[in-house]
Structure 1
Amino acid sequence: MGVVVPLGERDGARASIEPLLKVVAADMEKINETILWHARSHVDLIPKLAAHLINSGGKRLRPMVTLAAARMFGYEGETHLPLAIAVEFMHTATLLHDDVVDESDMRRGRKAARLIWGNQATVLVGDYLLSQTFKMLVDTGLMDALKVMSHTAAVIAEGEIMQLEAQNDITTTEDRYMEIISAKTAALFAAAAQLGAIVAERPQEERAAMDSFGRNLGIAFQLVDDALDYAGEQDKLGKAVGDDFREGKVTLPVVLAYRRGNEEERRFWKRVMADRDQREGDLERALEILARHHTIEDTIERARHYGAIARDALAIFPPSDPRDALIEAVDFCISRVS
């Protein structure tokens, strides 16, 4: 059961990831051929567990942003390839860690690695991929890239801890929630976009523009994910609708519903989220409350706002296939709720 949300014309069915895929197709083919090679180890479990997630069908949007950004700046070398793989490895490491912390059972429509190999192995393989991330960055010789990604790793860890502190906290404010997703999700998008400017040796003004593009794209992406947990379809999500609800994750739709609700509704949210006392029919009740207060629509409207900022960040660059593909990728991310 989900909530049907009408989309604006800007984010309609015409928005597609295809232009971005076309721009990076040759580079992604090279990456797909070598990504598991970078996860090799004489310890058999490491490539086996890493491959379980890496081959599970994710869109690899973050490394595609790095590749497209490099192309937008006219970069013609090969160093953007290990940078993009480093971005994907850092993302994969965070997913492995997330599934352990969140006690998730599914990831991208498949059984979570922690259920197959256990929490300890999953965390340690995540650590290994993170170490490989920094090895690849060092091998590029790009100190600025290493600085950006090391800072990003620290920010993501802070975001994870902030989220852990806020878990089941129904009094979380919107400002606090935005701070969490800015660190936990948007920071890596920002780094991915910056790396394309760094490898092309672009000036600080242009790096800052790419940071803004990636950061706001990441925020929009996460807000749409929040909406999709209540408004999506299971076969498209790769997880069950309502997983955030069942795990007691206080995301923006719930933050808004709690603030706008009456006393009876607030008691409901406290019981199901803070006390984790969930009963049959509670998800349907939650969906009714979210619909009454229009929190799914408002979450998507906020995503559109950040998407507009991301698009504007690229306005300083001349039109090109890579730039236009990145802009359409923003609309595609938001249109996922259709």
Structure 2
Amino acid sequence: MSATIHRLGSRPVPSLEPMIELVAGDLNLVNQVILDRMRSDIPLIPELAGHLIAGGGKRMRPMLTLASARLLGYPGARHHKLAAAVEFIHTATLLHDDVVDSSDLRRGKRTANIIWGNPASVLVGDFLFSRSFELMVEAESLKALKILSGASAVIAEGEVNQLTAVRRIDLSEERYLDIIGAKTAALFAAACRIAAVVAERSEADELALDAYGRNLGIAFQLVDDAIDYVSDADTMGKDAGDDFREGKMTLPVILAYARAGDAERAFWKDAISGKRNSDGDFAEAVQLVQSSRAVDDTLARARHYGQRAIDALGSFASSAAKDAMVEAVEFAVARAY
């Protein structure tokens, strides 16, 4: 065991490259599964699904499955289909999310619902969910099937929870964390945990990888929500201020509102209710979240959850896989800087 202690910020320029290089061969096999299972006699299905799947995403979630398997020294191939299933679940939720949010951009490109319409996006999302469950069954692990199907249900619950929380100025930080824990972190956790299942490792290893993925997922979403108030469309891959205009009470807004005076609270109430959503209003919102240190504190929380993710790997022996998974956390948090 190495005596090195990993802390966030210890590396000058965190990168996802070590993880990408670690799993490159496995990821090629996963991509083959993805392309094969996107096939359909209905041309619109592979066309629309391919638009999003080939749209520049880093395949973060399936890479976590592959890296976790490498961490455990798993020599088999059952995780390839499970990693593809993870990507299909993720892609299906993105298709449905863009319909719910009426989004125009995804990873800097026009969303599928803008190009093909809402009905096609929803139905192709359903197709990908179905393909993901086929792959889970083919992996021949009832426990992995239970974990991923459970995560799919939790993600849906998180999306509904978020939908009912839109334009709620009184949204608590606790409920916000419940929402992102479900809609984002649940799939990160499941993606990591299933590697321990197919590798037939102990429940302690399962739970450690679950904790790694879950805390990484929360940190990842916290950074995403902070970036909405400090970045632009080219950096984010979506329109700057989307969350603001949709009336989403993300943590930067929750904190800024809690720290606001009467006049600022009146602004936030009007903004979140949809009465103030112009470019000028968004510029004012950016100024308020930054002057109140709400963005700084959101990123501090992201670093806290990132450190918890790193700590969860403490029981595993030092290896290239462990180092890559640590740096993936640092990369996720550093995206906002």
TM-score, reference length from structure 1: 0.95
User: What CA distance in whole angstroms lies between the structure 2 residues aligned with 1:210 and 1:64?
Assistant: 13
Percent identity between matched residues is 53
1:69 and 1:193 in contact (8 A); partners too: yes
Residues 27-38 of structure 1 correspond to what in structure 2 (within 5 A)?
A: 27-38=26-37
CA distance in 2, matches of 1:61, 1:182: 17
Match of 1:215 in 2: 214
Task: Give the superposition deviation at 1:280.
Answer: 4.5
Shift of 1:32: 2.4
Corresponding residue for 2:145? 146
- The answer to whether the 8 A contact 2:168-2:272 is kept is yes
Cα offset, 1:278, TM superposition? 2.2
* Structure 1 gap ranges (5+): 1-7
Q: How does 1:158-237 map to 2 (within 5 A)?
A: 158-237=157-236
For the 8 Å contact 1:11–1:335, the answer to whether it is kept is: no
Aligned pairs for 1:46-125 (under 5 A) are 46-125=45-124
1:9 Cα deviation (Å)? 7.3
Q: Equivalents in 2 of 1:283, 1:12: separation in Å?
A: 34
Whether the aligned pair in 2 keeps the contact of 1:13 and 1:335 (CA below 8 Å) is: no
**RCO comparison, higher one (Cα < 8 Å, 6+):** 1
Q: Check the 8 A contact 2:245/2:274 in 1, yes or no.
A: no
Query: 2:245 is matched with which residue?
Result: 246
Say if 2:185 and 2:216, in contact at 8 Å, map to a contact too. yes
Deviation at 1:235, TM superposition (A): 1.7
Distance 2:307 2:101 in 1: 31
1:322 is aligned to: 321
The amino acid across from 1:87 in the alignment is V
1:255 corresponding residue in structure 2:
254
Greater displacement, 61-70 / 265-274: 265-274
Superposition RMSD on alpha carbons, in Å? Answer: 1.3
Cα separation, 2, equivalents of 1:166 and 1:273? 11
Count of residues paired in the alignment:
331
Q: For the residues of structure 2 that align with 1:36 and 1:118, how far apart are their CA atoms? A: 23
What amino acid is the match of 1:58? Answer: G
Is 2:16–2:331's contact at 8 Å kept on the other side of the alignment?
Answer: yes
Displacement of 1:13 after TM fit?
A: 4.1
Under a length normalisation based on structure 2, what TM-score does the superposition of the two structures give? 0.96
Contact 1:11 1:332 in 2 (8 A): no
In structure 2, list runs of 5 or more residues that go unmatched.
1-6
- The equivalent of 1:333 in structure 2 is 332
Q: Distance in 1 between matches of 2:127 and 2:279?
A: 41
Offset, 1:234: 2.4
Q: AA paired with 1:317?
A: F
Q: Does 1:19 align with 2:21?
A: no
